[in-house]
A = this chain, B = another copy of it.
Amino acid sequence: MRLVVVGGVAAGTKAASRARRVDPGMEITVYQEEPEPSISECGLPYLLSGVVRRRDQLVARTPEKFAEQGIEVKVRHRVEGIHPNTKTLTVRDTTTGDAFEDRYDRLVVATGARAVLPSIPGSDLDGIFPIRFLTDTDRIMAYVEDRSPQRALVVGGGYIGLEVAENLCRMGMKVSLVEGEDRVALAYGPEVSRRVAAELEANGVDIFTGERVEGFVGDGRVRTVSFGGTECEAELVILGVGIRPNVELAQDAGAEVGTTGALRVDRRMRTAIPDVWAAGDCVETTNLVGGRPDWAPLGDTANQMGRVAGTNAASPAGEDTLEFPGVLGTGIFKAFDLGVGKTGLSEEEAADAGFETVSADVEARDRAGYYPGAGKVFLKLIADAKTGRLLGAEAAGSGADKLIDVCATALWGRLSYPDLVDIDLAYSPPYGPALSPVIQAATILSGKFDRAREGVRVTE
């Protein structure tokens, strides 16, 4: 039995490793276009500034390590065609330029996602980079080494743009950030967006929202960026405007693309093509809160999907029954000293999904008030106005990661706000206030629902 995995980052390598464990006798090959497999892409912004000190720390496992496990990883190989009728593949060795045929019994597609490159005049100037692969950071770092840019501009105010802005500041550059929408961190409510913007500005980042970059100007390499009638000097530009799933290879072979634009798979991670599974950033899944298709291109989710795809792809026919249930839309990022996370739906996303919502927020401490070093954290809970079911949470500040993980677990268990009023969380002065911010916010929600029962309309 021969398993081929297309793509060797998180989902692909996880699928290969799981398959090896399920079936020790399976022949397994992973094709990876980039020169290294198993890259921790989430670490890339931190490599720029030296927070992550060495490049090789972001290569979780080398091809040699995979070989020890009986997994052949062929880097600089691009799969250009999947032929389900003959169960063959067309593969190109990008070093030699030669193409060849390979065969598979089982196939896992883990083609990931690519950076969106906006079509802005001047985009081909030197000094303008996306940041998606380790090779992108190689290019950025070589450019910085060579040109010592003093002013940088980041396009896009999402996770990546915000993380990159922080790390460029750490490198000593004067950083501007341009976001087309009216606020940064758009997946969050306005309270969190305001806090993120304030944190960036306090650290010297100039933020321009509601502005679209109209052009890059320079003499071979970029010198200024124009938007909103102004010209902003910048010798380095990082494009963080988003990513798009790589679906074309599987789609051409007969896999379906869903409403999110990513590959459609069932809970077993099967595509519509027999013996072909898919996992990671190239597939869509279900948002378990809203019950609708969702695209969640994140490293942890890719790992979890890869585990399911790899297990099933290595199981005997008919026994490929492991399921991946879906996601909540949980995410977190750091903006300088501010931890910012969410799970479930924002109020805007909940409204889109047809919910009527009630929310409550608190500004709490991350430990007992009298215990030294207490930091502040903002938490917002969003509940279904009809049923009281928790729909989402957002947090910003010290210990936001803990609060979001608690709320994610509550969403996973489909808990409602009254469950969170009495929940038995861990309290000791160094670790939280006597009542967790989750309990505090749930208690406020509870008061709103009580008033609603008395005939006061609670929807805000």
Give bound CA distance, A415 to B341, whole Å: 23
Decide yes or no: A425 and B439 within 8 Å by CB, A430-B334, A431-B401 being known contacts.
Answer: no
User: A10 near B: Cβ within 8 Å?
Assistant: yes
Would A42 and B427 be within 8 Å (CB), given that A325-B422, A405-B406, A409-B413 are in contact?
yes
A290 within 8 A of B: no
- Which residues on the B side are within 8 Å of A246 (C-beta)? none
Chain B residues near A410: list those with CB within 8 A. Answer: 409, 412-413
A58 located at the interface, meaning its Cβ lies under 8 Å from any Cβ of chain B in the complex:
yes
A368 within 8 Å of B (CB atoms):
yes
User: Across the interface, do B425 and A419 meet the contact criterion of CB distance under 8 Å?
Assistant: no
Tell which of A108-116, A272-280, A296-304 binds the partner.
Answer: A296-304
The number of chain A residues touching the other chain, given as a range, is 35 or more
Is the C-beta of A293 less than 8 angstroms from some C-beta in chain B? no
Interchain CB contact (< 8 A) of A408 among B51, B52, B425, B434: B425
Q: Does A369 contact B (CB under 8 A)?
A: yes
Beyond A40-B368, A334-B430, list 4 extra A-B contacts (CB 8 Å). A43-B370, A299-B427, A307-B421, A405-B425
Task: Kindly provide the distance from the CB of A293 to the nearest chain B CB, expressed in whole angstroms.
Answer: 15
A349 → chain B, closest Cβ, in Å? 15
Chain B residues near A324 (CB, 8 Å)?
422
Q: In the assembly, what is the distance between CA of A111 and CA of B59, in Å?
A: 59
Residues of B near A53 (CB, < 8 A) are: 372
Q: Are B401 and A401 in contact (CB under 8 A)?
A: no
Is A436's CB within 8 Å of the partner chain B?
A: yes
Going nearest first, the 4 A-B pairs with the smallest beta carbon separation are: A413-B413, A57-B370, A332-B426, A300-B427
Q: Which residues from 317 to 347 on chain A have a C-beta closer than 8 Å to any C-beta of chain B? A: 324-325, 327-334, 339, 341, 343
The distance from the CB of A185 to the nearest CB of chain B, in whole angstroms, is 13
**The one of B58, B330, B341, B432 that contacts A401, using a Cβ cutoff of 8 Å:** B432
In the complex, what residues of B have CB within 8 A of residue A414's CB?
A: 413
Q: A120 an interface residue at 8 Å Cβ cutoff?
A: no
Residues 350-374 of chain A: 1 if any B CB is under 8 Å from the residue's CB, otherwise 0?
A: 0000000000000000001111100
Q: How far is the CB of A407 from chain B (nearest CB, A)?
A: 8
Which of B308, B343, B401, B429 is A46 in contact with, Cβ under 8 Å?
Answer: B429
Contact B372 A51 (CB under 8 A): yes
How many copies altogether? 2
**A423 interface residue (CB < 8 Å to B):** yes
> Is B370 a contact partner of A52 (Cβ separation < 8 A)?
yes
Docked pose: A183 CA to B197 CA in angstroms:
50
CB-based contact B339/A431 at 8 Å: yes
Complex alpha-carbon distance, A405 and B402, angstroms = 8
Q: Which residues of B contact A68 (CB under 8 A)?
A: none
Q: Taking each of A57, A405, A424, which has the highest tally of chain B beta carbons within 10 Å of its own beta carbon?
A: A424
Task: Tell me which residues across on chain B come within 8 A of A10, comparing CB atoms.
Answer: 434
B412 touches A412 (CB 8 A): no
Q: How far is it, in angstroms, between the C-alpha of A62 and the C-alpha of B372 when the chains are bound?
A: 21
The answer to whether A424 touches B40, judged by C-beta atoms less than 8 angstroms apart, is no
A134 at the B interface (CB under 8 A): no
Q: Which residues of B contact A426 (CB under 8 A)?
A: 330-332, 341, 343, 401, 404-405, 408
Determine if A69 is an interface residue (Cβ-Cβ < 8 Å). no
Distance of A43 Cα from B428 Cα, bound (Å): 8
Q: Which of A412, A426, A439 has the most CB of B within 10 A?
A: A426
* CB atoms of B52 and A371 under 8 A apart: yes
Q: Which residue of B lies closest to A433 (CB)?
A: B300
**Which residue on chain B has the smallest CB distance to residue A344?**
B424
A222 at interface by CB-CB < 8 Å: no
Which residues of B sit under 8 angstroms from A404, Cβ to Cβ? Answer: 426
- Which chain B residues border A75 with CB–CB below 8 Å? none
Give the CA-CA distance A332 to B43 in the complex, in Å: 32
Q: Among residues 164 to 201 in chain A, which have CB atoms less than 8 Å away from a CB atom of chain B?
A: none
- When C-beta atoms are compared, the residue in chain B nearest to A333 turns out to be B428
30 CB contacts below 8 A, A to B, read A40-B370, A40-B429, A40-B434, A42-B428, A42-B434, A43-B368, A46-B370, A46-B371, A57-B369, A288-B424, A299-B427, A299-B434, A300-B436, A301-B424, A303-B435, A304-B439, A307-B421, A307-B443, A324-B422, A325-B422, A332-B427, A333-B428, A334-B428, A405-B436, A406-B409, A408-B423, A408-B424, A408-B425, A409-B415, A412-B413
